[in-house]
Structure formats: C-alpha cells, structure tokens
Chain A
Amino acid sequence: MKHLRLLFYFVLGTFVFVACSDDNDDQSNGLYSKGAFILNEGNYGRSNASVSFLSYTTDSITEDIFTKTNGRPLGDVLQSMTIFQGKAYLVLNNSNKIEVVNAADFKQAGVVENLTSPRYVAFYQNKGYVTQWGNDGIHGSLAVFDVAKLSVDTTIAIGSGPEGIAEINKKIWIANCGGWGTDSTIIVFDPATLKIEKTIVVGYNPQHFVLDQQGYLWVLCSGVADWVDSENDKPSSLVKVDVKSYTVVSSVTIGKNAHPSIIGINRDKNLIYYGAGYGFNGIWKMNITSTAVESAPFIEGYFYGFSVNAANGEIYAFDAKDFSVKGELIRYSAIGNKIKSYTVGLIPKAAVFAN
C-alpha cells in the first residue's frame, strides 16, 4: 500500500505545474556557529534540497547556505543532518549520498557515496553508521563508513526500513520503522563485532527514540495506517525501554488512528514531545512519569516536522505549505507560546542546533 506513494509521485510529477516565489535573501556567507540549521527536504526528484540558517545574533534567515558556499546543489531530499567532530553530515536520501561540510562555514569537505536510500547517521569511534532503506524500501541495511576516508567499509542487513539511529552505551541503536512495509523492532548493534546483539520487539513501526533523564529509551512507534479501511489500523505508541537489560518497561498507547512520526525531549529530559506526520494534528507532550497521553495537543497545527532545542527548550515547528512554495519555521517557547515565524526553504522538516 505504501508503494503508492512513489506511484503517486511518479504520476503527479508529470503534471504538477507551479510557480515559485522570489528569493529575496541577499545575506552573504558567514560563520554558522551560533544559530540553527534548518533542513529543507526539497521536492522528491527535483534535487532542490537546501539548508537555511537562522542566526541567533541577527535573528534572520540565510537561505541555501550549501549552494551559496560551494556553488553547486546539495542534492535530492535532505533527510537529516548530524554534526560530528566539527563536520556536518548531510544525508541526501534520493541522491544516495552524504555530503560532508565544515559545520562552522559549510565549506564542502567530502562526500560518502554508494549508499542506497540513506536516512540517518550516527557516529562512534571515527565510524559513521548510516541507516538505509535499500532499493526496495524494505530490505534495509546499516552502512558503516570510515570518517577519515569517507568510504563505506561494510553494509549489514538490519531489518525493514531502519530509520532512527544513535550511539548509546557503546552500542548502535536502530529503529526499524518498516520502510515501505512494516516492522516493530529495535536493533542493538555491536560496532565491535559488526553484529546484531539484540532485537527488541516494541510497537508498530518504531521511528525514532530519545533518552530521558533516568536513562530510559522512549521509542515513538507510529503505528500502521490502512488507508482503505481505518478499522485495520494498528495503534501508535510510546514504548519505554531499559537500555541496560534490553527489555521493554512499559508502553503508552497514543491512538489507533493517530500516526505521529517525530519525537523530541525537553532540556531537562523529563518531558517528551511527539507529533507531525501525515494527518496528525499537533505537537503533544507527555511527562515521562505519565501512563497515558494527554487529551489535547500542546501546540495545535499540522506540521511536516518539528525539533526541540535542547539548550532552551524552544520548539521549532515546520509548515511545508503546499510543497511548491517556501516553507515556514514557527518558533515556540518551551511553554508553547509562539515567538516568531520565518520563511525558509522548500519543505522544511527539521532543525539542527549549533548553540
């Protein structure tokens, strides 16, 4: 069923007809050390992904800093960005590569190629670990590359649609979200042996996870949407996992027909935020001690993505508009009050904070 997305893109791509708005930004390049990188996914198949930079100093946006700095396009569908040892690793999903730049000035520093539908990257001991869905979007894998050489060392089959990834306690934790299919597992991967150490069954289609102040892992499982008959939907949930014993501690159901895709946590790591995703209204919060979700969203609205600034608790929510004009960043305070809106690039989805 999910394969229809690509079919839809294919068909739509032949007749979408849109106009564009002017790029009025005339700021020159500067150092990107105090602000937020806004990741603009761009249109699938159009290679118009970009990174906007919100300067805390000037409170203004600099558009498309990669192209302005390096004189070439970033690529197709910017899935994520991770900063490691002063370098920013920009994962271009439909370009099958990771562009590497100096995080401070965004000057190009290399590229990791020969990936297959890469999603997210984590680092441990000078190795990069990339989740990738593979050509069919189901048989996913973990690509391991050398940070110095920027070449892929090995690729290991890992499950269906490996998505969120992080290094926790010298292990690489991976959420298998199902890709174009379904899955319900968290993988604990041992970088020393390059083998799967443990497979933990959680909820339906785990997407991403965060660590709370007590060291527990909270996994957002988006559930399964059956778009023909919603009665066949599988519920979404927040699953609490003990990272030491590799066991599920508890689970909180979000809703049978609710399918959020993004999770974040506040500065004190005691308040979980979840939301965004197709048809999901709002950004919700839940205290890590709660046993049920709240009855109303923390922030109302249909967002394409959001990120939480760990330094001050601010929430950056992203509105992709109609996917053909520039999107909007809406900045909220830690208590959910709107601070300001900014025009950013095409289809903004996430922010990476360089505080």
Chain B
Amino acid sequence: MRYFYLFLLWAFSTDLVVGASDTDSIINIDAVEVARHRFEVLSVGATVQPVDTFLLKVSRSLSLPDLLVFSGLNVNNYGPGGLSTIAVRGMSASHTAVVWDEVNLQSPMNGQFNLSVVPACFLDKASIQYGGSGVNYGSGSMTGIVHMGTANLFQQPNQLWFSPAIGSFGNKSMGAGYKWGNHWIATSLKTFLQQADNDFPFKNTTDFYQRTVRQTNAGLKQYGVFPQFAIRTSERSMLKASCWIQQYNKDIQTMMTSSSPNLSHQNDHNVWLNVQWKYVDSAYILSVRNAYLYNQVLYFDPSQGTTDNHSRSYITELESRIWVRKNHWLQVGINYTIDNAFSQGYNENPTRSRASMFMQYKIENIASRLNLALGARQEYVSYFTPLVYSAGIEYRVTQRWRVTANLSKNYRIPTLNDLYWKEDAFAKGNPSLKPEWGWSGEWGVHQMWNIGGLQLEASQMFFYNKIYNWIMWQPDTVGKWQPINKSQGKSQGVDLRFKSQYQTSRIRSTTAFSYQYTYARTLQSNGQWGNLPPDYMPIHKASLSQMFTYKNLAVGYIHNYTGLRYTLGSRLPAYQVADLFGQYTLYKNQFKLSLQFRINNLWNQFYQVRQYYAMPMRNYLFTLMLDFSAKP
C-alpha cells in the first residue's frame, strides 16, 4: 500500500513529517526528529547557530536581515529595504546558500539571494550553518548556509494571530495568519503587508554644506501570502504543500554623495512552491520533494527604462534515510534541477539541467561519546562537477567537554549570467568557465556547566577556507568585462561564543556573547595576494545580548560591534549599534495580547553598513501581537 501512495504522490513530491510513533519496531522515530531538516539530523562537527526561538517570536514585524542582525549575525545591507546578503566566514555572498525547507533559493542567474524580501513572520525557524559541511545542499554551499524553515503543521495548535505595527519614518506593517487542522489535515495561511517611507533625517557628512537632510528614494512596499496545506496520507506518511507568493517593491536609495534623488526602483516578484511527501517506516524515511521557484526582478532606471530579469527553477529530489543498524544512518538521494532564465542581457533564454546524487553516513553514540558523519555529492551539468565530500566528528571528552571537527570539499557552478551574458560593448559571458571548488575546515572545543539553575555554555571554533577557480568578472585586454576562473580566496579565523542562562519558574535571564576574528584574502589580478580583506568583510565582529523575562514582561538588549572594513581601497569605520525592546503580554483564556516597543539604534549612532548609504538614526517600532490558540 505504501508503494501505491508513492506511485500516486511522487510526482508532487513531498516533505515530511509524520508523527511516526511506530509500535512495530524497537526504533522509536520521534515526530520532532522527523520534522527536522536533514542538516539538523546529519551534520556533525559543524557550527550551527539557530536564531533564538524567542527572538523569532517577538520579531514578527521585522524582515529576515533585521532578525539576523538582531541575533548578532553579520549581514551586508545596502540600506533600509535594500539588498541584503550574508557572507559567511570571509567569502562572498554567493558562497553562502539560502535554503528554504531543503530547497536552495540562490538565483541561478547571479548565485545570490536577497534576504530583504523575507518577512520574519513567514518563518518558524532559522539557522546559520557555518562552514562547508552542507555538501548535500549542492552548489553554492561553500562556506555556509542560511536555513529558513517552516514547522510541522500537525505539531502546532490551531491558532489565529494578528500583528499590526507602526514605526518611525512611515513604517507600517501588518501580519496575520491562522492554522487549522485535525489529525488528518492541516492548513495555515500567513500574510504580510508593509510600507515604509524611510525618509529618515541624517547629517550628510559628504556634503559641502554638511546639511542635515532627509533620505530620499528609500521607500518600500511589500505584500505576500503564504498558504500551507498538509495531509496525512496514512499514519506513516504526509503530504505538505507550501506556496510563498510575494511582491517587494523598493526604491533604490539615494547615495549620500548624490546631489539629486535617485530615480531608480526595483520590483521583485517571487513565487515559490514546495510540495513534499514523506513516508516513515521503522527502518527508513523516504522523502520526495518537488519545488518550483519563480523569481522576477523588474529594475527601472531612467536611462534604460525597465529591464526584466526572471528565472524559473524546477527541482525534484528523492531522498531516503535508512536506519542501517543501531545508531547507523545512511542517507541517499538524487536531485534533478532545471533552471531557465530570461534577461535582456542574454542572446537566448538559457536552460540548464542538473542531476546529482548525494549520500551521507552517520554513526551516533559510539561508546556514548562519539558521533561520526561522512557525506558526498556528485553533480552532472553537461560535465561532471568536482566530487565533493565532507567528514565530521564529535567527541564527548567528559560530561562538560566536547570537541568537534569538520572537513569538506565544496563547489559552486557558474551562474547563468557568468556563462551566457551576451557580448556587447562592455561585457560578455564565458561559456568555458569551470566550477569553483574549495576546502573548508573547522575544529572546536565546547564546554557546558550546570550550576543550580544556571547553565553555562562556551565554544571556541577555528576555521579555514580556501577556494580555487574563483569566478571573477574582470576586463580583458581590450577593456571588456568577462568572468574568468582566475582568483583564489582564503580565510581563516576564530569564532568564540559564550552563553549563560538562568531560569526559575518566574524568571529567565539569558546572556550571550560572540566574537569572530576573520582573516580573509583574495588573489589579485597581478598574481599577488591582496593585503586587505575582501569588500565589507570586518576583521572583528562581536555581539552581546541580554534577554530577561519576569512573569509577563520581557526585555531585551542587543549590542553589535562591526569592526573596520575596506571597500575598494577605502576604509569604512567600525560601528556599534544597539537595539532595545520591551514586551508585556496579557493572557485571557486562550487569548494572548502582547504589546511590544522597540528602539532601534538606541544610542543614535551614525553608521554605514555600505559606504555612503546612510542608515537610520534612533527609531521606534510599536507592535501589537494578538494570538488565539485553541485548546489541544
């Protein structure tokens, strides 16, 4: 019968999550375990930093990059509402994959993903996986992965929620949603609307008159809907469909150095459909996943009118996790992806097909101390990409001490822009490009203490990355830009983290500190290693946060330090930005009303994330969150 279901459903694919409390096996497959993404289950020896669930819950009116900054992560932000990318451990944004429920969202056209388009309220969880241990996610996951995830609908109570917010500089937003379901079926719908003028005042230090002016052309409008549907196709299987549809219209912020407003704007239209089916047996878990990704960017510039760049990706993935023997997991899978793109920069609309196989073997709890994992992936794109693999180890030295290590070989295939940009006066693609590949290594020591109600955790991680055949656009001998496999990149550094948590029945206090030192260099066109870090990569970065809850009151303070950065020979000063929020929650039967007040840039600092793009000074956001949860 299970094969009948497979036959019916493979074309739609599936994802998972079945509450498989099987009784016919000694193996207990926990529902939560099944719902977890494969990196959570299978990665060993790699650093994974989840966004604090409490922060996620209180950040419904924020965008994902704001949430990540709020969590102390390094995000490159072109300004309010502008392009946001994340570059992990000294390499470029295209070396960090962005994955939504196991589907890689990186654009096949330029290899990047704009985090700004993601409202935090559409997510149930988010994590950063550092290093190259995510080889199973394929091209682009070279130095890190941003995981965005949704929860198992069957594990959530039926609920309604509504979150309007109003803030400085014309910022208005509203999120709302519901989840309804029973044992067999569940649906949810989330919606999000936002509008912001972002016309904040700032002193223009680049101006001859040093005037205080208002930011121009930085507004945004966003709206999106996110329906999900899940059905148990049997007690052992579940079909889940998610459809993310949104429109993100933003003005292109005027640079501080410009004497007149920028007139450009950009409209992003995204449709992401993700249909997953999962079958859970006592000896294996089978997943089938189909995804359709449509991304359109309409860019308007007065000199060129509107240009249309859009792509479609069709992804089919079959994956199985097999319980080989006690504590031994084997994961095998195949993936077939078709990318199709349209741009006025292409002569023809290129289509690219990719087929890949991947596997991972994990051994847990050897002598109750040791976890091991080995992974590999091979992709074929009219040629075989480099065979990539990873190995991870975790060893519990004592109850309090643990050591980890991970080593991987990774790759990134050229983007469609790299390959097919048509020749004109200024540029041309290069169909002969080879994939980038590189090594990523990480090892660390972790400590944990429990003293009464106080829990202390500390980690010291060291990392090293090296990338070969780095694709860079450079002018050729006649001045025409062309991508070539010329450069190399390397980075190494230290990642230190400390967290303490004290909890009683009424009080919860969490203090977290992190510090990253990154030494990164790229090989220059003259064959010499550069003597400065890559663009906008801080050498030092630190974050300190304090969360405190007492009964119904929650207060949080986050202080981020970003060290000196360089961009094309210019020094960009270090900056510190702090955010403060307070929230009070009222409970009445099944209703919950939270009133939240947030002060961003508490110390009113003038700073630039991107050079000559002003950032808002102190600003405020008031959010009301109304929740209704049905009784279980």
Contact = CB atoms under 8 A, between A and B. Distances in A.
A22 B531 contact: yes
Interface in A179-224: 180
Nearest to B610: A46
Contact of B534 (A18, A94, A225, A323): A18
Contacts of A17: 92, 94, 472, 522, 534-535
Contacts of A324: 474, 525, 568
B148 to A, nearest CB: 20
Interface in A120-171: 133, 135-138
B234 interface: no
A346 B570 CA distance: 11
Given A72-B205, A94-B258, A11 B345 contact: yes
A95 B257 contact: yes
Given A18-B535, A96-B259, A278-B425, A11 B530 contact: no
Contact of A10 (B301, B424, B524, B612): B301
A255 interface: no
A136 B521 CA distance: 39
B568 A15 contact: no
B524 A325 contact: yes
A346 B345 contact: no
B298 to A, nearest CB: 12
Interface in B412-442: 415, 417, 421-427
Looking at B205, B208, B477, B611, the one whose CB has the most chain A CB atoms below 10 A away is B208
A18 B478 contact: no
Nearest to B261: A96
A139 to B, nearest CB: 10
Contacts of A10: 299, 301, 307
A278 B425 CA distance: 7
Nearest to B304: A3
A95 B505 CA distance: 59
Contact of A7 (B85, B307, B347): B307
Given A19-B524, A180-B304, A323-B475, A278 B426 contact: yes
Given A8-B481, A72-B205, A320-B475, A43 B568 contact: yes
A247 to B, nearest CB: 32
Contacts of B425: 1-2, 4-5, 225, 227, 278-279
A326 B569 contact: yes
A222 B415 CA distance: 34
Contact of A180 (B85, B303, B472, B475): B303
Contacts of B521: 19
A281 B478 CA distance: 7
Given A20-B530, A20-B566, A135-B303, A8 B345 contact: yes
B280 to A, nearest CB: 40
Interface string B85-100: 1000000111000000
A92 B258 CA distance: 9
A322 interface: yes
Interface stretch (A106-114, A291-299, A307-315, A332-340): A106-114
B302 interface: yes
B257 to A, nearest CB: 4
Nearest to A113: B259
Nearest to B532: A20
Contact of A278 (B344, B478, B522): B478
Interface in A1-36: 1-8, 10-12, 14-23
A115 B424 contact: no
A110 B208 CA distance: 7
B305 interface: yes
B479 A21 contact: no
A49 B255 CA distance: 14
B479 A279 contact: yes
A110 B209 CA distance: 9
A99 B208 contact: yes
A97 interface: yes
B255 A14 contact: no
A48 B307 CA distance: 27
A47 B205 CA distance: 13
Interface in B8-53: none
Nearest to A63: B569
B550 to A, nearest CB: 45
B424 A1 contact: yes
B526 interface: yes
B94 A19 contact: no
B263 A279 contact: no
B475 A7 contact: no
Contacts of A325: 524-526
Contacts of A72: 205-208
A48 B474 CA distance: 18
B212 to A, nearest CB: 15
30 contacts: A3-B305, A5-B426, A7-B345, A14-B112, A15-B92, A15-B111, A16-B473, A17-B535, A19-B532, A19-B533, A20-B532, A20-B568, A21-B530, A21-B531, A22-B531, A46-B568, A47-B612, A48-B567, A48-B568, A48-B569, A48-B611, A73-B257, A75-B258, A95-B257, A108-B208, A114-B260, A135-B302, A136-B302, A228-B422, A323-B481
Interface of B: 83, 85, 92-94, 109-112, 205-209, 255-260, 263, 299, 301-305, 307, 309, 343-345, 347, 415, 417, 421-427, 472-475, 477-481, 521-522, 524-526, 530-535, 566-570, 611-612
CB-CB nearest 10 A-B residue pairs: A19-B530, A135-B302, A3-B304, A97-B259, A137-B303, A113-B259, A279-B478, A227-B424, A17-B92, A111-B208
Given A8-B481, A96-B259, A108-B208, 20 more contacts: A4-B424, A7-B345, A8-B427, A10-B307, A19-B522, A20-B535, A43-B568, A46-B568, A48-B569, A95-B258, A133-B303, A135-B302, A136-B302, A227-B423, A228-B424, A278-B425, A278-B478, A302-B479, A322-B525, A346-B568
